[in-house]
Amino acid sequence: MEFESVPVIDIGASGAAAGVGEACRDSGFFYVVGHGVDFALLERLEGLSREFFARTSGEKLAMRMELGGRAWRGYFPVGDELTSGSPDQKEGIYFGAELDAKHPKVVAGTPLHGANLFPEGVPGFRETVLEYIDALTGLGHRIMEAVALSLGLEAEYFSRRYTRDPLILFRIFNYPALAEAEAPLWSVGEHTDYGLLTILAQDDCGGLQVKSPSGWIDAPPIPGAFVCNIGDMLDRMTGGRYRSTPHRVRNVSGRDRLSFPFFFDPNWDAEVHPIEPAKNAVDDRDARWDRTSVHDFHGTYGDYLINKISKVFPELRRDVL
């Protein structure tokens, strides 16, 4: 479907579900306002994040991802994460739901479950991150209720089947500015997200682009709004009616860019099935960035995710998983 801009939806308004449905069919992207999340929390998180990324390489590597083990948490430097097979021009920290050593999934050694790593000497970082994760988890449930209603389903459709205990993954990314001489480089290359829903906060640098049939369009920051997009699993569930749209980032603002992607995904053990029989699924593998079909996948979301992240961090997967 052709589109020239990303729509803005008041998620608290009576017509929110219809707007979400139209956006998911047309572009797979939408901004949400009226979400009830206090942006003072995000401002605090942004300030603490800038404080962390201003540290020396050695200080940041003190919480490197290798130390997070199977929980897959911690810091990675510029170039360590691969998207579309190429090193990203970004550094970042991986977080998830905070689980102690007695949690059943941690005891079982389930990947991507466990305790987070937090930097020493940055007061308030841990508390702010966990508060943000809690706030965005609540917002994720609200948005997925609107998605369900837009599909003619009961509001609790996804929570009953997939997200009663969602897999929560949260990232803080810092993108160094790219010079014009580095034009062939992408801060993050073309890709789609893996799960159900991504809720993104970004600073005022810009740089996010969304792929439309006629070309790439900008999704600039809007004060007080989150950028949302749907992932591969919702594409699969809806037989392609709702599309996981490719997007990319290039930071040519002249200064470092911060972004805060929050992934609200199915439970690790959930088997993902089409909402309706898949005979009419739209197979767009030839148009996708990775030339694969999300509709060919069968299994749990954990299966899908491990296959994907093994390509993003191949060395880490070999050493940790």
Residue 2 lies in a domain: no
- Residue pLDDT, tens place only, 70-127: 999 999 999 888 876 778 899 999 999 999 999 999 999 999 999 999 999 999 999 9
* The most confident of 255-269, 276-290, 299-313, by mean pLDDT: 255-269
More confident residue, 321 or 252: 252
Separation CA 217–CA 206 (nearest Å): 12
Residue 169 lies in a domain: yes
- Residue pLDDT, tens place only, 227-245: 999 999 999 999 999 989 9
Separation CA 273–CA 58 (nearest Å): 45
CATH number at residue 139: 2.60.120.330
Residue 51 lies in a domain: yes
Q: Cβ(85)–Cβ(64) under 8 Å?
A: no
**Domain containing residue 258:** 8-320
Residue 236 lies in a domain: yes
Residue 130 lies in a domain: yes
Residue 37 lies in a domain: yes
The bridge status of strand 29-33 relative to strand 8-10 is: parallel
Residue 231, SS3? coil
Residue 160 lies in a domain: yes
Residue 39 lies in a domain: yes
Total domains present in the chain:
1
